[in-house]
Amino acid sequence: MEKKVIYSAVQPSGNLTIGNYLGAIRNWVKMQSEYDCFYAVANMHAITVKQEPAELRRRTLELAALYIACGIDPEQCALYVQSHVPQHAELCWVLNTIAYVGEMSRMTQFKDKSQKHAENINMGLMDYPVLMAADILLYGAQCVPVGADQKQHVEIARDLAIRFNNRYGETFAVPEPLILKGGAKISSLQDPTKKMSKSDENPNASVFLADDRDTIIRKFKRAVTDSDNAIRASDDKPGITNLLNIYCAFRPCTLEEAEREFEGKGYGDFKLAVGETVADALAPIQEAQKKLLSDKTYLAEILKGGAEKAYKAARRTLSKVYRKIGFYQGE
Ligand code: ATP
Ligand code: LTN
């Protein structure tokens, strides 16, 4: 039986947080042996907000190294840079003609980013979900492992697949988001009602995968919590609940086990334990990433191989799409 196809990506738009790790990359690792996986560095998405070119180039390689350091096996998966496969932009153009301006302007992320970057509300920012749909549909992915904030975008990819199939005949697989419990929505340490984000301007709000041990412990020590002192997960304790989620995801253990472990203990002890647990879990990833980045030739080879694998699959789909829509492709 053919393996199911999985597609996901992260933008090289900043330093990755533990939210990106728990919500996305960690789950990718778990799926790689069972599925046919395509994992990309979404540099085309990243330029929808202003990027410093030299930094974008550096971060692209750092992110690829991080995927491998987190456990992605480039032999098993196609690990590649989005812009190395031109079919992403080509399919995006076709999908643009069946995507409506109204539905794109209603996307939560578009509204948030338009507010945050009011001086640069460019066409690409609005087109972001269509390019994401092109990513997913090019490979016939049935399943897209992402954090909860990306659910709306995967739903747009579904809608566009169905719309295209209805208009031109069965062409695309209809993808489903895969949002695993536990790490799907890690909150900011400074405002637990907001998601932790790599572009938050308050550096204490996010724990970065590249943070050193002391920084990690300090950030957890300063995390905003409530005034009572019970360590249990509940809706009226978003700060503690978030810390418990992080603790359980890295330890790993269940919420009940963690609540039992810290029964009768104070917030100080608990926050220190969370910080130490996270720092312990990140240390080997940091070490592995550093080692990988010291051999740029090896990384370039991996990315070239990944792009070749992806290109083959993408070319097949695009040719089918061009046939369906009536683009002349020669005799
Ligand atoms: P930015 O702040 O630049 O918009 P981001 O931190 O939201 O970036 P993305 O590149 O948009 O990161 O997301 C990469 C992946 O990480 C997506 O699957 C997304 O759902 C997931 N993700 C991002 N933030 C979180 C979070 N706080 N909790 C869980 N998953 C997250
Ligand atoms: N927009 C995504 C990154 C991304 C993606 C994708 C995720 C680009 N293309 C395709 C899943 C499938 C984000 O997480 N911000």
> Is position 259 within any domain?
yes
CA atoms of 45 and 13, how far apart (whole Å) = 9
pLDDT at position 228 is 86
* 250-303: pLDDT as tens digits: 999 999 999 999 999 999 999 999 999 999 999 999 999 999 999 999 999 999
Measuring CA to CA, how many Å separate 230 from each of 117, 226, 273? 40, 9, 15
Q: Is position 62 within any domain? A: yes
What per-residue confidence (pLDDT) applies to 46?
A: 97
29 within some domain: yes
If asked whether residues 101 and 149 sit together in one domain, one would say yes
Question: Are residues 284 and 316 part of one domain?
Answer: no
Would you state the structure tokens that stand for residue 128, as one six-digit string? 């972001």
Residues 112, 232: one domain? no
In a domain, 198, yes or no: no
Same domain, 84 and 21: yes
**Residue positions counted in the chain:** 331
Is 15's C-beta closer than 6 angstroms to any atom of ligand 1?
A: no
Whole-model pTM: value is: 0.95
Range of the domain at 231: 213-290
Ligand nearest to the CA of 184: 1
- Return the residue whose CA atom lies nearest to atom 20 of ligand 1: 147
State residue 331's pLDDT score.
85
For residues 153 and 64, state if they share a domain.
yes
Rounded Cα gap, residues 178 and 146, in angstroms: 6
- Ligand 2 pocket test target in 135, 149, 185 with most atoms within 8 Å of CB: 135
Residues 37 and 171 in one domain: yes
Q: Are residues 272 and 308 in the same domain?
A: no
Whether 147 is in the pocket of ligand 1, judged by its Cβ within 6 Å, is yes
pLDDT of residue 182: 78
- Ligand 2 centre from 315 Cα, in Å? 20
Counted domains in the chain: 2
**Minimum-distance ligand to the CA of 141?**
2
Choose, from 151, 198, 221, 324, the residue flagged as catalytic. Answer: 198
| Residues in the chain where the model's pLDDT stays below 50 | none
Would you call 113 a catalytic residue per the annotation? Answer: yes
Characterise 115 by phi-psi region: left (phi > 0), alpha (psi -120 to 50), beta (else): alpha
In a domain, 193, yes or no: no
Based on the fold, state whether residues 267 and 304 are members of the same structural domain. Answer: no
Considering the domain architecture, whether residues 249 and 234 belong to the same structural domain is answered as yes
141 and 268 belong to one structural domain = no
CATH number at residue 266: 1.10.240.10
Residue 16: CB within 6 Å of ligand 2?
no
